[in-house]
Amino acid sequence: TIAKETREFQAETKQLLDLMIHSIYTNREIFLRELISNASDAIDKVRFESLTNHDLLEGNRDFEIFLIPDDTTNTLTISDNGMGMTANEVIDNIGTIAKSGTKAFLEKIKETGSVADTELIGQFGVGFYSAFMVAEKVTLLTRVPGHKGVKWESNGDGTYTIEECDKDTRGTTIILTLKKEYNSPDHPEENFTDRYILQNLVKKYSDYIRYPIKMNFVKEEKPKDPDGKIIEDAPAIKTTEVRILNSMMPLWAKNKNDITQDEYNQLYQNLFHDWENPLETIHSKVEGAVEYTTLLFIPAHAPFDLYQQEVTNGIRLYSKNVFIMENCQDLLPEYFRFVRGLVDSPDFSLNISRELLQHSQQLKLVGKNLEKSVLKTLENMLNKDRTKYEQFWKEYAQAIKTGVYADYSGRDKLKGLLLFSSSHSEGVSTLDEYISRMHENQKAIYYATGKDRAAVESLPQMELLKEKNIEVLYLFDRVDEFAIDALREYNGKKFQSISRGTLDIEEIANEDSQKNINQVAQENDTLINAIKEQLKGKVADVKISNRLKSSAVCLVSDDNGISISMEQILAEMNR
Ligand code: ADP
Ligand code: MG
């Protein structure tokens, strides 16, 4: 037996505790997530070891985590029936910092000598110590099956006490004596003896912990008479009801074949606060350099703020069912910002900071894979379910087109997904479809810009192309033209504006309308010179053209110059 002993924390631990207590870090509620996941780890351990040593269970295999808030004693107790710790384990695990991540972090702080700019602290590898963010005293009672109980206590200064104690039940009980501000109705959001706050925190951070997280809710009700009527003047009767706060089994951890679309829809609506079902669900499990499960959704409708500057990315991260963060930025490229979903990987560290996680190689790799799988899904949709794809296009065309012109790396991946109106039909076509309908010796993909179909079709330049039955893409959206300009060509076919430069369509289709332009030009030399004289300074050149059918003249832009509609956009922007 050991008598009560007071011990000093390891120097580094002291430092860490100091940072915890005076932390500038505001997200203090994560302490609960940390303690619950430790409890869950400890239950994992006893469950695993009991497979070969049944005595460890001591006849109790109803694994559970219990939360006991008590606002009269100012305490929040978190209790588990996991493996517990021996006295030596408590000293080793709780009194020292073994984790290299934390050590590295502390070294970095020493190096830079500043704490102010290291907001990371609360999220770093601090686990158990995060309790000191909200507690002025932490008491830990723990017992390993077959061993004596141990009591550990500290108020976060440089020392802790440790002594033997009696403990009936297996596992660990942690009693947090809360700092005043965390048990006060003045800070309702951070009142950690409030059952509803705790319930929400469990939902938010620990919903999918595999063991039940239980809490007692006390109900006060007046008794009823035999007819079921409430007896008003009788004293209220208190009944305690144990509720399980978490749903335990994450949907995404189940086998795909055991999940209904309805279940996916429920989860999607709950997590992403949408009242509609998603347009598409992507669920996959990946094993490789990084192991992860992902569940992605394409919402049926683009959120109204999708194209605004400050858009939140809808990807949540989990590690072994434990929530780490939402809105993980940079996981998917900007042009897939409409995708909602989650990634769960045992390779993500729970305690890592946002910034560090953002730069982690694992996350980069996962991001690359997610992008690929979204691309593949869209390609499949385009090929197999055109109606659905066009629905997608109606909502997210802007994002894809912007990806083509604004993101160099996205260009090639996205170009096959583009849809355009064209002279072929009232519907929309992909570039591949356009190419499949091209004349045999047609070298370019022709396009025209205008505000709508009628406007484009009345362009004088359309006449000849129409007559020759050459298909023209109609660009109604400014971003269409930006995208086409960025692409320059598709599968070796140049994009050619019908109102820019020479059209070179003589060799395409039947040649009966071909004329010797040079000869006509010579014959009309005086006329052309007169027109040039009149328009001096307003146009660059006046030429005889073969592109007109019934109109007398048309304006075209130079091959190298900007297009007419681009000029209009620029003029508008300057206004
Ligand atoms: P981590 O969980 O990343 O190891 P923590 O600071 O959260 O770091 O916990 C440190 C160690 O303390 C754990 O690895 C574990 O050995 C021990 N520990 C913490 N909480 C419990 C618990 N409820 N039951 C048993 N052991 C625990
Ligand atoms: Mg931990």
CA-based nearest residue to 556, from 503, 492, 479: 503
Q: Compute the C-alpha angle 487/492/494, nearest 5°.
A: 55
Judge if the beta carbon of residue 93 lies within 6 A of ligand 1: yes
Of 345-359, 381-395, 411-425, the poorest mean pLDDT is in 345-359
| Atom 3, ligand 1: residue with shortest CA distance | 127
- Among 128, 209, 320, 349, name the best residue to mutate to test ligand 1's pocket (greatest count of ligand atoms within 8 A of Cβ): 128
**Residue range 56-84: mean pLDDT, rounded:** 95
> How many Å lie between the centroid of ligand 2 and the Cα of residue 193?
22
Confidence category of residue 312, pLDDT binned at 50, 70, 90 = low
Residue 494: per-residue pLDDT: 94
Confidence category of residue 162, pLDDT binned at 50, 70, 90 = very high
| Atom 7, ligand 1: residue with shortest CA distance | 127
**Residue range 13-20: mean pLDDT, rounded:** 77
Q: Please, how many CA atoms are within 13 Å of residue 218, restricted to the half-sphere of its CB?
A: 8
Whole-number percent of the chain with pLDDT over 70? 83
Does position 123 have pLDDT exceeding 50, yes or no? Answer: no
**Residue range 402-414: mean pLDDT, rounded:** 92
Which of 43-52, 183-192, 266-275, 386-395: highest mean pLDDT?
386-395
**Residue range 113-117: mean pLDDT, rounded:** 48
Q: What pTM value is reported for the model?
A: 0.64
ipTM of the complex: 0.99
Q: Compute the distance between CA of residue 115 and CA of residue 483 in angstroms, rounded to an integer.
A: 46
Does position 119 have pLDDT exceeding 60, yes or no? Answer: no
- Residues 6+ positions from 173 with CB-CB distance below 8 Å: 77, 78, 79, 80, 140, 141, 142, 167
- Among 38, 80, 89, 320, name the best residue to mutate to test ligand 1's pocket (greatest count of ligand atoms within 8 A of Cβ): 38
Residue 544: per-residue pLDDT: 78
Ramachandran region, residue 201 (left: φ > 0; alpha: ψ -120 to 50; beta: rest): alpha
Judge if the beta carbon of residue 499 lies within 6 A of ligand 1: no
Ramachandran region, residue 11 (left: φ > 0; alpha: ψ -120 to 50; beta: rest): alpha
Residue 263: per-residue pLDDT: 86
> How many Å lie between the centroid of ligand 2 and the Cα of residue 350?
8
Whole-number percent of the chain with pLDDT over 90? 46
- The two counts, helices (H) then strands (E), for the chain are 17, 20
User: 15: part of which helix (H) or strand (E)?
Assistant: helix 11-21
Q: Compute the C-alpha angle 67/71/73, nearest 5°.
A: 95
**Residue range 189-216: mean pLDDT, rounded:** 92
Q: Please, how many CA atoms are within 13 Å of residue 466, restricted to the half-sphere of its CB?
A: 16
Q: What is the mean pLDDT of the chain?
A: 85
Confidence category of residue 354, pLDDT binned at 50, 70, 90 = low
Would you say 317 and 354 are in contact if contact means Cβ atoms under 8 Å apart?
no
Residue 118: per-residue pLDDT: 40
**Residue range 157-173: mean pLDDT, rounded:** 94
The most distant pair of C-alpha atoms in the chain lies apart, rounded to whole Å, by 118
> How many Å lie between the centroid of ligand 1 and the Cα of residue 271?
29
Confidence category of residue 174, pLDDT binned at 50, 70, 90 = very high
Output b/e per residue, 270-287; b: 16+ Cβ within 10 A: ebbebeebbbbbbbeebe
Confidence category of residue 492, pLDDT binned at 50, 70, 90 = very high
Say which DSSP state 9 is in.
Answer: P
Q: Could you tell me the two tokens for 348?
A: 């993500």
Does position 542 have pLDDT exceeding 60, yes or no? Answer: yes
Q: Which one of the ligands is nearest to 40 CA? A: 1
Q: Which one of the ligands is nearest to 100 CA? A: 1
- Distance linking the first and last C-alpha atoms of the chain: 86
> How many Å lie between the centroid of ligand 2 and the Cα of residue 244?
22
Q: Which one of the ligands is nearest to 98 CA? A: 1
